[in-house]
Amino acid sequence: MTMPLIGVPGRRASEANNVRGKAISSGRMYADAIHRAGGLPIVIPPSNDPDVIAATIQRCDGIVMPGGGDVNPTCYGHTENAELRGVNDFIDAFEIAAVRAALDLDLPILAICRGHQVLNVALGGTLIQHLDTTDDHRDTMHTVQMISGSLVALAMGTHEPFVHSFHHQAIEKLANDLTVVGTHHDGTIEAVQHVSKHWVIGVQWHPEDTAADDASQQGLFDALIQHVR
């Protein structure tokens, strides 16, 4: 049986261990979780060529959008009104194009933390640039209240998962094509799903961080593979 090919958009790095010169990087825990689910992860080199991005996404059976730095507010028509971290216009454009290409093909998408925010921005939504309750979300474990029967709840096998958060931004205006399926007790949008696509979800936390020991978090990656057509 052929293993589904799951694309993970990569990042440019000035250097990396055991690599001569500049590098392309991606988090290992995403790859490990995809492997455990029965998929074959592939790092997609960043590009500013829409034809190259589209052609690469067409070769994939599903996509995992990873965490990372803040999205430039210009991507959603706003100006900076809080301290931003790790903004990279090149990566913003690349990842938004990758999401849109995957949506056009109706590929399964698991969007994580920054990826969850990129998904919302790519579909016309906006972001809170700095949460007033950041201390409740920055490198903490907490519960999320999930809508029973939602794609995320079904994948995780629970409607109140215990998750690891590491973020200071969140969805503000929800894109029209998304619906909220999970929230934090402070009202922060923690999980979304697409209203019409086959299997497209976003989670504000980092399931890859605890997936090796938590079946509910690994369930998100398992469900991604199960929904590959």
164, 194, 206, 227: which is the annotated catalytic residue?
A: 206
Angle between helices 215-226 and 28-37 (to 10 degrees): 70
**Quick check: is 113 catalytic?**
yes
**Quick check: is 75 catalytic?**
no
**Quick check: is 208 catalytic?**
yes
Give Cα 145 distance to the centre of its chain: 19
75, 95, 208, 227: which is the annotated catalytic residue?
A: 208
Burial status of residue 152 (CB atoms within 10 A of its CB: 0-12, 13-18, 19 or more): buried
Neighbours of 26 (CB within 10 A): 18
Amino acid identity for residue 73 in this structure: P
User: CA nearest 172: which of 71, 69, 91?
Assistant: 71
Q: How far apart are CA 142 and CA 140, in angstroms?
A: 6
60, 75, 95, 113: which is the annotated catalytic residue?
A: 113
Give Cα 150 distance to the centre of its chain: 17
Query: What are the residue numbers of the active site?
Result: 113, 206, 208
